Amino acid sequence: MLVKQNTDIVQTDGAVVWCKLESVLEPLFCVLERVRLRVPFLAISPWSKGGYVNSQVFDHTSVIQFIERRFGVKEANISPWRRAVCGDLTSCFNFANPNDKKPTLPSTDPFLPPAVQLAEGGNYNSFVPDVGSVMLGIPQQEQGIRPAKALPYEMDVRAAVGASNVVLTFYNTGQATVVFQVRSGIASDLVRTYTVEPGKQLSGTWSGSAYDLSVYGPNGFVRYFKGSTGFGAPALRIESTYGTDGYGSINWKITNALPAHTAITLEVTVVDAYTGNSVTQAVRPGQGFGNELSLEQFFGWYDLIVTVAGHPNFNYRLGGHVETGRDSFSDPAMGGLVTLQG
């Protein structure tokens, strides 16, 4: 993103980049810098054995940043934004305690060419493929989980519903800069991105009688907010914090944020999509309830669905992974070991 010198990027709103110039918030038309499509990256070395997954955000500059870190050189053409958002690949490697065990390699026999090709000395011109020798459609993901590297992320997004709008606040309590992307189910709302530094927060406002917002962050972090505004519409304040014992826990608290004079009691249900367990409670304005959910069984992964009785269009969802500072495992739901419920 190219902006005036000494300008802080606050948020993006479609093609307009909101920048802070000498404590004044004003829109500037800038060149938007962003991370593009995901591509696979394989780190093969004596210091990266073990079949680990690393879901930290990297890009093409990460290789250069790794060289900088190793050899003490400096590349002047990497922007501060990319340095903040994209890691330097060092989290892929274990230089302190390398894995010296020799791996057992799988057999390559299943990948040999068909016998007819081998018999003809590798003459591919005479080989005619049939249905049994080619793959049709998209390959199915291998079932199971893999060990996963510890990541520097910890974040949350909270919604505040007003009379005619909803305000999302993006919190970054981790150790690395996070980019949140917000997509809306309402066609007139543009896609927005928010870059939040560690220890800071940003807010954005969406106006209208209804909202349908999906927020995405690193490593499967997601928050869904769907509902309506105006009198009588449910307004819940959902806060989540995280514990780091074992594989982690999520502490959630839900408050009925409607004004006291409305006297509207909301019957709130929270479903744990990994187990199917649920809890339902009637909550009066200003009151709330909460719980600490251990994530030991699912290696720190969580997916909570929040609904309100009598309001079928209201649906909030909190999903992601709790980082503890220690290595973990990839998502068992994505690996086909758990079927999400609710």
User: How do residues 84-116 score in pLDDT, each as one tens digit?
Assistant: 999 999 999 988 887 777 878 889 888 777 676
Q: Is residue 29 scored above 70 in pLDDT? A: no
pLDDT at 273: 98
* Higher local confidence (pLDDT), 21 or 128: 128
Q: Is residue 9 scored above 50 in pLDDT? A: no
Task: Report which of 279, 218, 293 is spatially closest to residue 248, judged by C-alpha positions.
Answer: 293
Q: Is residue 125 scored above 70 in pLDDT? A: no
Judge whether 172 and 155 are in contact, CB under 8 Å: yes
Which alpha helices (DSSP H) does the chain contain, by range? 60-71, 80-85, 115-119
Judge whether 21 and 41 are in contact, CB under 8 Å: no
Cα distance between residue 200 and residue 11, in whole Å: 13
User: How do residues 165-219 score in pLDDT, each as one tens digit?
Assistant: 999 999 999 999 999 999 999 999 999 999 999 999 999 999 999 999 999 999 9
* pTM given for the model: 0.84
Cα distance between residue 122 and residue 144, in whole Å: 36
73-82 average pLDDT score: 92
* Higher local confidence (pLDDT), 96 or 120: 96
224-242 average pLDDT score: 96
User: How do residues 249-276 score in pLDDT, each as one tens digit?
Assistant: 999 999 999 999 999 999 999 999 999 9
Q: Is residue 132 scored above 90 in pLDDT? A: no
Model confidence at 127, in pLDDT bands (50, 70, 90)?
A: low
Model confidence at 124, in pLDDT bands (50, 70, 90)?
A: low
* Higher local confidence (pLDDT), 114 or 30: 114
Model confidence at 119, in pLDDT bands (50, 70, 90)?
A: low
Q: Is residue 8 scored above 90 in pLDDT? A: no
% the chain with pLDDT above 70: 86
Model confidence at 28, in pLDDT bands (50, 70, 90)?
A: very low
DSSP 53: B
Cα distance between residue 95 and residue 48, in whole Å: 9
b/e burial code for range 60-69 (CB count within 10 A of at least 16 → b): ebbebbbebe
Task: Report which of 212, 259, 205, 266 is spatially closest to residue 231, judged by C-alpha positions.
Answer: 259
